[in-house]
Structure 1
Amino acid sequence: MSAPTLTRTVRSESPEETHRLGVRLGELLQPGDFVGLIGDLGAGKTHLVRGVAQGAQVPRSEVASPTFAIVYPYNGRIPLHHADLYRIADYDELYATGFLDLLGGESAVLVEWLDRIPEAAPREYLRITLRPSGEDARELHAEAFGPRPAELLTAWLA
């Protein structure tokens, strides 16, 4: 794996702030963008994902956890696919789901538990690691791999 083009770290003091960070990211996403999320259970991935969906103008009623469906499609300002790799054993199993057909297409892709199958990420993507840093506070460490992800990261945390 190559080194990130750009890295930034931001602190969120509450679940609501994590959600707002997600909204801002969702407002900036374009078709073809890939965002991988890493973090333990309770790290705040769901708050961030719900914010991203809101920012991408996905109706709140459509946003669900794809834990059992693996990939959940949303229709908003742009098509958005939300994947959860928690229950996927390996790359071959992921390949069999058809997930790889989503990459580089007409939708943005948001993937939780990317660390379970890191080779699922395309060459250019934004990786966000969420870590608890207090009772409600979280540290979001973002790494951009490639020019478009670096542009996205810069605009997101401007």
Structure 2
Amino acid sequence: MKIITNNEKETKRVAKKISAHLKPAMTILLEGQLGAGKTAFTKGIAEGLGIQRLLKSPTYTLIREYTEGRLPLYHMDLYRLEHSEDEELGLEEYFYGSGVSVVEWGSFMKEDLPKEHLMIQINVLNDPEKRELILEAYGEQYQNIVRRLEDE
């Protein structure tokens, strides 16, 4: 599924719609160039989950936890792990726990990620405000989310 957004506000609105369908132990993988809007998208997920706290990029901390919403949000950024050796990071505790995991740059550690997930590629278009969101669902519960978005 492809969605074109005209600005950051619309990108966050798509994320909020997705957040309405999220359940514990679900994972969203975000890919896209630096500055494409991965953290902005995650802010929309957080807003949709009712998280009021300011969301910051976890680039230097690997994982930021936000627990005050409808579901806990685990925001991960694996960019700094691109050239690291396979390490035991304990990410499974997040992926299969009580919250939702949003992972930026998950392609750097594909083998450690859940097989079932929602992959969202965020591309910057010719207009620097516009984004193309390409959603790929792996697993039935994620396919259901994409179907619901198509119906809205």
TM-score, scaled relative to structure 1: 0.87
Who is 2:7 aligned against? 14
* CA offsets 1:115-155 (integer angstroms, 9 cap, x no match): 22222321111000001112211100000001011112222
SS in 1 for 2:20: helix
CA–CA distance in structure 2, aligned partners of residues 49 and 91 of structure 1: 27
Is 1:27 aligned to residue 20 of structure 2?
yes
Who is 1:68 aligned against? 60
Who is 2:86 aligned against? 92
Residue type at the aligned position of 1:60? R
- Residue identity over aligned pairs, in percent, reads 32
Who is 1:107 aligned against? 99
Who is 2:32 aligned against? 39
**Structure 1 stretches of at least 4 aligned residues deviating more than 6 Å after TM superposition:** none
Aligned residues: 148
Residue type at the aligned position of 1:31? P
The question of whether the paired residues in 1 share the 8 Å contact of 2:39 and 2:56 is answered with no
Structure 1: 5+ residue runs without aligned partners? 1-7
Structure 2: 5+ residue runs without aligned partners? none
The question of whether the paired residues in 1 share the 8 Å contact of 2:65 and 2:73 is answered with yes
CA–CA distance in structure 2, aligned partners of residues 47 and 21 of structure 1: 11
Residue type at the aligned position of 1:148? Q
Is 1:133 aligned to residue 125 of structure 2?
yes
